[in-house]
Amino acid sequence: MTENTVTAPKKIIFSGMQPTGYPTLGNYLGAIKNWGALQEEYDCLYCIVDMHAITVRQDPAQLRKNAKNLLALFIACGLDPEENILYMQSQYHGHAELSWILNCYTYMGELGRMTQFKEKSAKNEANINTGLFTYPVLMAADILLFGTALVPVGDDQRQHLELSRDVAMRFNNIYGDVFTVPEAYIPKSGARIMSLTEPTRKMSKSDEENSYVSLMDAPDAVIRKFKRAVTDSDMEIRYDQAEKPGISNLLEIYANACGISIDAAVAEFEGKGYGHLKTTVGEAVVGNIIEPVQGRFAEISKDAAYLDEIMKKNAQRAAQIGERVLKKVKKKVGFVV
Ligand code: ATP
Ligand code: LTN
């Protein structure tokens, strides 16, 4: 590159994760792992969305602890806190401000169609609060605040992403080009890791303990969970999500944990039994993901002052970027700025 070359500004990536407990293997393979792969090519913001988390009742001390642990885990999973903006959603007021404005450009009907709202309200009948209903508007605000081009998420967030795009386009149609219309960035493999006990449902940390692997599970617990994974009664190891969801899930986990293709994974297990498959997948997850992440997590967590410093500095970096869009939006809708 010559001295005079002007490099185009990097595109912005934004994604978020709720601090509602330790992330699962699904969160890791569907989201965090891919975030790490993007950090050089893009300017990335990875946000701990504690404001989303309180749509379900949380214990305050536990929420705070979970949020700090998640920051340490992000770093332990390979997200560099200098390269990426890793921060807490509640530490930058822009999210709440833009969310309110976008509420006024989102229809009740759109939010009522969101499958996550339907599922979560069925699970929490005693607390169907309006935050749960407007959750996707806050998510749209998170994304649109930074001129985000790409949003790396798991498959379950597709519908929320569509809504963010619709709201952005609606706003732009009225006021001109204010928001960048974001695209979803969903990995071809690993975007929908299924429950180990009910392989037709997605792996979720709010389900029963044996159904998911947490990044902080003890290695022997991980091996045990894989040994107990629900499969099927025939004996053939092949990738067929419709007919063999349990086996296909194990193959997908293995391929992603080892960085190989599903075909290569299938070939490795040709002629082998289910018991061998389950043990081998468990060991690969422990050796390639669980142990290295836990080792780094233990180191990073020791330094609370370092983590506090990162949090503070990165919330300021996020605010610097967000303020530009927020100011423009306020001006457009007619506030005195
Ligand atoms: P819960 O399961 O408790 O409702 P969640 O894990 O879906 O919560 P987040 O922690 O906010 O919610 O999810 C963070 C990211 O992980 C999102 O990008 C989401 O798409 C992805 N993700 C969640 N579950 C899976 C899964 N089973 N497979 C792949 N990606 C997933
Ligand atoms: N809704 C997401 C978490 C989330 C998010 C975001 C993801 C909140 N804000 C912005 C991507 C971009 C979830 O439940 N997984």
Q: Which residues are catalytic?
A: 120, 202, 205
Tell me the pLDDT band of 7, cut-offs 50, 70 and 90: confident
pLDDT in tens, 157-179: 999 999 999 999 999 999 999 99
- Which atom of ligand 1 lies nearest, measured to the CA of 190? 29
User: With pLDDT > 90 as the criterion, what percentage of the chain qualifies?
Assistant: 94
Instruction: Give whole-number Cα distances, 1 to 6, 41, 130, 180, in Å.
Output: 9, 17, 53, 29
- The SS3 of residue 267 is helix
Q: What is the pTM of this model?
A: 0.95
Q: What is the pLDDT of residue 4?
A: 57
Q: Which ligand is nearest to the CA of 143?
A: 2
When the pLDDT of each residue in the chain is averaged and rounded to a whole number, the result is: 96
153 close to ligand 2 (CB < 6 Angstrom): yes
Q: Which residue has the tokens 């037709």?
A: 200
Average pLDDT over residues 285-293: 98
pLDDT digits (tens, 9 = 90+) for 38-97: 988 999 999 999 999 999 999 999 999 999 999 999 999 999 999 999 999 999 999 999
pLDDT digit string, tens, across residues 218-268? 999 999 999 999 999 999 999 999 999 999 999 999 999 999 999 999 999
Ligand 2 in reach of 142 Cβ (< 6 A): yes
pLDDT at 129 exceeding the cut of 50 = yes
Mutation probe of ligand 2 site: the residue of 34, 99, 138, 160 with most atoms within 8 A of C-beta? 160
β-pairing verdict for 85-88 and 43-48: parallel
Cα 163 to averaged position of ligand 2 atoms, centre (Å): 12
Number of the ligand 2 atom closest to the C-alpha atom of 138: 9
C-alpha Rg value of the chain to the nearest Å = 21
Strands 150-152 and 85-88: unpaired
